[in-house]
Structures are given as structure tokens and as C-alpha cells.
Amino acid sequence: MGISARHPGNSFEIKTQLELLQTSESVSSIVTALLTALAAVSLFVGGIGIMNIMLVAVTERTREIGVRRAVGARQASILTQFLMESAILSLTGGFIGVAAGIILSSLAARVFVWNVPILPVGVALALSSSLFVGIASGIYPAHRAARLGLVDALRFE
């Protein structure tokens, strides 16, 4: 009489430590991929928001751009001004996000008694990616501001 006949419905499975480690790594890589995709979508949406804010800023400051062009400002200086504004806007958001992440990590470490490392490389990556998104999403509005016609910009109300 076999073991399955003596104990029906009591199936069991033996797993080695290597199998458990492989399963854990598989789950970890899936979670990492999902979090990376979520971060990419968040950065894309943030970039669209920054672009819209900068386009509104160009529209509202058309007359100012015209006056600057009339007194001798070059297209490159206007382009640089708007790129710097979008970079500062996105870096401000990046610093707020890093600060929130540090605060939430330290809170989680205290509440759940976890060891939550805050790596300088991760902070640098977060800030550099926010800077990249800010500059990339500010290129079109800055280019549009720099290309405004002098007469049209001065007549704009």
C-alpha cells in the first residue's frame, strides 16, 4: 500500500534552497520591472505637465520676450532662459521627491523595523533624471519663445 493510498489528499512538495532563491529572484525582477515602468510613466506625465506650464509661461510673457528682443537679446539667450526655468522647475520637483522618499523610508524603517538604505547613487539618479525630463520637456517651449517675431511679440496683448 503506497503513501498516497494511506493519506489521500495529503500531497507535499520538497523544494531546495536554490529553488526558493530562484523563485525569490524571479519575483524580485518582476517587481523591479513593474516599478521601473511606473517610474517611466510618471516621468513622462511630469514632462508633459512641465511642457504645458512652460508653454503657458511663453504665452503670458510674449510681450516681455518682445521687449527683451527689442533691446538686443539674442535668440540663444531667450532659449537659455526658458530652458533654465524648466530645469529649475523640474529640479525643485526632484528635490521634493527625494526629500519625501527619505522621510518615508526613515518612517518605514522605524515603524516596520526594516533596514532601509538610502544610496547616494539612487539620489543622484533621481535628481539627474528629473533634470533630464525638465530640459527635454522645456526644449519645445524655449524654442517657441526664441522664435517669436519681434513685431508680433511687441504687439501682443
CA-based radius of gyration for the chain: 27
pLDDT at position 123 over 80? yes
Give the pTM. 0.77
Q: What percent of the chain has pLDDT over 90?
A: 62
Place of cell 527683451: 68
Going by C-alpha positions, the residue among 28, 124, 139 that lies closest to residue 83 is 139
At residue 154, the pLDDT reads 79
Q: What percent of the chain has pLDDT over 70?
A: 92
Question: Looking only at Cα atoms, what is the longest distance across the chain?
Answer: 101
pLDDT at position 56 over 60? yes
Structure confidence by residue, pLDDT tens digits, 81-106 = 999 999 999 999 999 999 999 999 99
